[in-house]
């Protein structure tokens, strides 16, 4: 029986070249072949993008008693890419009261991911 | 009218103006006035809540407000006088600036030196001549960014982004995160206007299609946008008969930026038609003695980090001018050669170190960035209009350049 093989395309962002890389994998999600990555740094990035893509999430939350109505926030570290919308759902219900200091924790250990959501500016 | 005099006035408190004021303060200038028309320091950084700032300058991945906060804290520790909610409405060649605000009315400031740091404005639908009706729901990407990130309003639910500039792509992601459906980003050129990082993390991450060689050729809707017609563009840049329609209630334009130079024209400063900013030397000194300019008011930069670096150079030079009042009299012009849209600064005067920035006309692989005399000779795997080429000149090279009539830079394909 022939094994099912998956093919996914990625654009490398490690340098301005922006190589188009194709990743071939087996049905267990193991990489069989990596085509088009031209350097070790790119190869490492693509492997990570394939197996565990991570992003920093930046957004805003509602803020009361402040001169502006939204407080900008970020995750203190990377979160898995597929948790972005789950985090947005949590943050859409969050509300903080001014004053706020930069780096104040808005939500501790969001969704148990081991990452905090912190304020990225001060508000009086 | 209230009259004050100062050593240095900096107009605009974004990443360029704040860096300029701080550097001038470090140089020992006592009286520095930093003015901005907004209600707080930081300029456009405050609405750029995404990360990617500071990677060059601080080797840290900061958001716009965090990047601004770094400078705001440093400014608080100095005796720089900050005047907010105040608009510079007039400027003269002998360095008088008229400010307007709702407390003092008009203020006349006489300065020994001026740093202009007004930044840039977005091009609008009118400037790219898109036909159709004039309904509600049409915004520039930066205006939508302010609505969403600061005011807390969503400009619409069903969106098409016209143009693939960085802010357009960043807003495509932002609107998606906030629950809108972003149907497409169109780009008239065969390549994206913004950084590859943003194509991947703002569009590909959210399966937002990027239609290269496509443009909106009609906007529909009476009271509110109801949809757009999009056409494939041929190699002459003209729309073809290959079209499709998208229903949407909102259009965001991200079709380029224009340096904001109403004040510069009043001086008057000679404006370079290619960059949209005044001609400058390598200390960011304009043609008018004592008036300096930095950041996106001088030419549109790729990164806030570059803007701050220019601000530092302009701030240092303006401080020296305020103290000693002289400028170098010999200067070597820089000339844009093959495949170069512009090269800045326009004149070389310094002997220690200079960074030139080159914006190419189109993406080209495997090139050399060279000067006719061979003093500059850089090999690049790729050059793109979205990412300026930096040319760093040390004192050895500058010594050789000082013997030239001009420094002409070509970008040539290898072989």
pLDDT along chain B (415 residues), means of 10: 97 98 96 97 98 92 97 97 98 98 97 98 94 97 97 97 96 98 97 92 97 98 98 95 98 97 98 97 97 98 96 98 89 96 97 97 95 93 93 96 96 90
Domain coordinates in residue numbering, chain A: 5-51, 58-119
- Alpha carbon of A79: minimum distance to chain B alpha carbons (Å): 14
Name the minimum distance, in Å, from the CA of A102 to any CA of chain B: 8
Where helices occur in B152-303 by DSSP H, the ranges are 166-177, 196-198, 262-266
Distance, in Å, from the CA atom of B187 to the CA atom of B254, rounded to the nearest integer, reads 9
Q: Which of B327, B361, B382 is the last residue of a domain?
A: B327
SS3 A16: coil
Q: Residues B342, B224: one domain?
A: no
Which residues in chain B are closer than 8 Å to A115, comparing Cβ atoms?
none
A39 reaches B (C-beta below 8 A): no
> Does B170 share its domain with B271?
no
Whether B15 and B69 have beta carbons less than 8 Å apart is answered as no
Q: B290-299: string of b/e by CB count within 10 Å (b at 16+)?
A: bbbbbbbbbb
List the CATH number of the domain containing B210: 3.50.50.60
Does residue B12 share a domain with residue B66?
yes
The confidence score (pLDDT) of residue B326 equals: 83
Enter the pTM of the model: 0.95
Residues 86-105 of chain A with CB under 8 A from chain B are 88, 102
Residues of chain B in contact with residue A67, where contact means CB-CB under 8 angstroms, are: 39
Into how many domains does chain B fold?
3
Which tokens in the block code for residue B192? 């994206």
B205 to chain A, minimum CA–CA distance in Å?
A: 8
Q: What confidence category does residue A1 fall into, taking pLDDT thresholds of 50, 70 and 90?
A: very low
The encoded tokens of residue A52 equal: 């565990």
Least Cα separation, residue A11 to chain B (angstroms):
7
Location of structure tokens 């907010």: B84
B88 and B146: one domain?
A: no
Of B255, B275, B291, the last residue of a domain is B255
Residue B31 and residue B8 in contact, taking contact as beta carbons nearer than 8 Å: yes
Q: B172 with B156, same domain?
A: yes
Chain A residue nearest residue B62, CA to CA: A120
Give the list of residues 6+ apart from residue B129 with CB closer than 8 angstroms, or none: none
Which of B210, B232, B255 is a domain's end point? B255
Q: Taking CB atoms and an 8 Å limit, are B66 and A121 in contact across chains? A: yes
Q: Residue B385 belongs to what domain range?
A: 331-415
Coil vs helix vs strand at B44: helix
Is the minimum CB–CB distance between B114 and chain A shorter than 8 Å?
A: no
Element (H, E) at B310: helix B304-324
Burial of B172 (0-12, 13-18, 19+ CB in 10 A): buried
CB contact under 8 A, B149 and A120: no
Which residues does residue B132 pair with via DSSP β-bridges, in sequence order?
B219
pLDDT at A3 (0 to 100): 59
pLDDT of res. B372: 87
For residues B202 and B156, state if they share a domain. Answer: yes
CATH superfamily of A58-119: CPE0013-like (3.10.530.10)
Asked if A106 contacts A73 with a C-beta cutoff of 8 angstroms, the reply is yes
From the CA of B66, how many Å to the nearest CA of chain A? 6
49-68 of B, contacting A, C-beta below 8 A: 49-51, 61, 63, 65-66, 68
Does B238 lie at the interface with A, CB-CB under 8 angstroms? no
Angle at B128 between CA B87 and CA B53, to 5 degrees: 55
B12 and B114 together in one domain: yes
Residues from chain A that touch B69, judged by Cβ atoms under 8 A, are 102, 120-122
pLDDT for A55 equals 96
Q: C-alpha distances in angstroms, A104 versus A68, A72, A121, B341?
A: 17, 11, 9, 45
> DSSP of B224-244, one letter per residue?
B--EEEEEEE-TTS-EEEEEE
Based on the fold, state whether residues B316 and B337 are members of the same structural domain: no
Mutate to test the interface with B, among A14, A16, A123 (most CBs of B within 10 A): A16
Angstroms from B136 CA to nearest CA on chain A: 24
A70/B150 touch (CB, cutoff 8 Å), yes or no: yes
- Which tens digit of pLDDT belongs to each residue from A46-87? 999 999 999 999 999 999 988 889 999 999 999 999 999 999
CB distance B68–A121 less than 8 Å? yes
ipTM of predicted complex:
0.92
């Amino acid at each position: 029986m022939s094994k099912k093989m998956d093919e996914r395309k990625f654009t490398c962002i490690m340098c301005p070249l922006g190589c188009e890389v194709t990743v071939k994998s087996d049905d267990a999600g193991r990489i069989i072949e990596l085509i088009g990555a031209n350097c070790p740094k790119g190869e490492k990035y693509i492997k990570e993008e394939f197996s565990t893509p991570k992003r920093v999430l930046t957004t805003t939350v509602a803020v009361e008693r402040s001169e502006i109505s939204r407080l900008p926030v970020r995750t203190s570290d990377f979160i898995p890419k597929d948790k972005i919308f789950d985090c947005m759902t949590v943050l859409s219900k969050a509300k903080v009261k001014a004053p706020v200091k930069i780096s104040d924790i808005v939500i501790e250990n969001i969704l148990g991911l081991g990452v905090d959501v912190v304020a990225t500016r001060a508000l009086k | 009218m209230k009259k004050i005099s100062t050593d240095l006035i900096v107009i605009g408190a974004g990443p360029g103006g704040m860096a300029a004021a701080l550097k001038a303060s470090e140089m020992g200038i006592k009286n520095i006035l930093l003015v901005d028309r907004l209600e707080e320091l930081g300029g456009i950084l405050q609405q750029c809540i995404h990360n990617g700032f500071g990677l060059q300058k601080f080797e840290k991945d900061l958001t716009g407000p965090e990047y601004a906060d770094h400078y705001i804290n440093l400014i608080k520790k100095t005796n720089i006088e900050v005047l907010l909610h105040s608009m510079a409405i007039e400027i003269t060649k002998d360095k008088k600036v008229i400010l307007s605000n709702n407390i003092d009315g008009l203020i006349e400031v006489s300065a020994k030196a001026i740093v202009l740091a007004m930044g840039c404005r977005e091009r609008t639908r009118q400037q790219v001549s898109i036909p159709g009706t004039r309904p509600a729901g049409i915004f520039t990407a930066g205006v939508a960014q302010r609505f969403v990130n600061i005011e807390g309003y969503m400009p619409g639910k069903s969106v098409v982004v016209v143009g693939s500039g960085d802010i357009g792509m960043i807003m495509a992601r932002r609107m998606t995160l906030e629950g809108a459906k972003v149907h497409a980003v169109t780009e008239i050129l065969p390549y994206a206007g913004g950084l590859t990082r943003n194509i991947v993390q703002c569009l590909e991450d959210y399966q937002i299609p990027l239609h290269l060689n496509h443009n909106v050729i009609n906007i529909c809707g009476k009271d509110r946008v109801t949809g757009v017609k999009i056409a494939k563009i041929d190699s002459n840049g003209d729309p073809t008969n290959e079209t499709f329609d998208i229903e949407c209630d909102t259009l965001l334009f991200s079709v380029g930026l224009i340096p904001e130079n109403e004040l510069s024209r009043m001086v008057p400063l000679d404006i370079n038609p290619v960059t949209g900013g005044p001609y400058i030397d390598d200390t960011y000194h304009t043609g008018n003695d004592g008036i300096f300019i930095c950041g996106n008011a001088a030419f549109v930069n790729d990164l806030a980090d570059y803007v701050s670096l220019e601000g530092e150079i302009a701030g240092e030079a303006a401080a020296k001018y305020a103290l000693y009042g002289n400028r170098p009299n010999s200067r070597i012009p820089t000339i844009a050669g093959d495949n170069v849209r512009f090269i800045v600064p326009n004149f070389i005067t310094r002997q220690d170190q200079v960074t030139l920035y080159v914006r190419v006309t189109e993406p080209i692989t495997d090139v050399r960035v060279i000067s006719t005399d061979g003093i500059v000779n850089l090999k690049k795997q790729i050059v793109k209009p979205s990412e300026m080429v930096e040319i760093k000149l040390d004192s050895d090279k500058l010594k050789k350049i000082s013997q030239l009539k001009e420094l002409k830079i070509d970008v040539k394909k290898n072989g």
